[in-house]
């Protein structure tokens, strides 16, 4: 059994667990994804597959052969190694909670 994402116009519309024979009999485009892959790393030390585990609404980029979320904010850029979005300012490491403020392109403390 494996995890497979159905792709329609580059967007993941469904993710299922199935045998390869079942996927081969389905209409449309299905791409295998790994539950254990995040940020280009395999969480159990194996070989990562397509940068990130696919989720409904994710983008499948066939050029990068990668799954990633839609861009959360216009100022954020896609890390080519991990295919995770990065803010232009690093998240503060002071133990407090923050949310991104796109108007100021900075982290604002949540109180």
| Residues 6+ away with beta carbon under 8 Å from 4 | 15, 16, 17, 18, 23, 30, 31, 32, 33
Owner of token pair 């059994």: 1
The helix or strand, by DSSP H or E, that contains position 24, with its residue range, turns out to be: helix 20-24
Share of the chain above pLDDT 90, in %: 99
Q: What is the pLDDT of residues 45-59, one digit of tens each?
A: 999 999 999 999 999
Q: What is the pLDDT of residues 9-57, one digit of tens each?
A: 999 999 999 999 999 999 999 999 999 999 999 999 999 999 999 999 9
Distance CA 87, CA 107 (A): 9
The pair of three-digit structure tokens given for residue 21, joined into one six-digit string: 């024979």
| Residues 6+ away with beta carbon under 8 Å from 103 | none
């Amino acid at each position: 059994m494996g995890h497979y994402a159905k792709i329609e116009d580059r967007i993941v519309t469904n993710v299922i667990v199935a045998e390869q024979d079942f996927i081969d009999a389905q209409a449309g485009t299905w791409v295998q994804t790994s539950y254990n892959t995040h940020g280009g790393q395999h969480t159990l030390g194996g070989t990562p597959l397509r940068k990130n585990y696919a989720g409904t609404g994710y983008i499948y980029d066939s050029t990068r052969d990668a799954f990633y979320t839609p861009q959360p904010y216009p100022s954020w850029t896609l890390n080519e190694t991990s295919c995770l979005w990065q803010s232009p300012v690093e998240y503060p490491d002071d133990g407090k909670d923050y949310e991104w403020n796109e108007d100021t392109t900075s982290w604002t403390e949540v109180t």
